[in-house]
Amino acid sequence: FPVTIFKAIYDRVSSHALGTALTGGFHNTEAPLGTTSPYGVFSLPGNVKERTFTEIIKRPVIQIQLCSSAKSPVEVNNLYDSMWFT
C-alpha cells in the first residue's frame, strides 16, 4: 500500500520528541472539539498531489500549528524547540 504524505508526516512527528510533548495529540487539518492542550495540527496549504511513481514530488509546504491553553508562552516555546528534527 502506498504511504500518503499525511501518514508520513504523522508518523515522523509521532515518533519524535514533539509527538511525545503533544499530549493532546497531533491532528490532520483540525483537532476534535474538546482536545486537551497542548496539541498540534498539521496541514498542507494549497493543492498538493499525492506521490505517485510517475512523478517526482517537489518539497511540499507543511503548516504545523502548536496549540496551548497555558497563559505563558513557555509551553509553546518548548514545543517549538522540540520540533527541530535531527
Tell me, letter by letter, the H, E, C secondary structure of the chain: CCCCHHHHHHHHHHCCHHHHHCCCCEEECCCCCCCCCCEEEEECCCCCCCCCCCCCCCCCCCEEEEECCCCCCHHHHHHHHHCCCC
CA distance 55 to 67: 35
Q: What is the pLDDT along the chain (86 residues), one digit of tens a residue?
A: 356 888 888 888 888 888 889 999 999 999 999 999 999 999 887 665 555 556 666 666 788 899 999 988 898 888 888 887 65
Model-level pTM? 0.75
Beta carbons within 10 angstroms of residue 57's beta carbon? 11
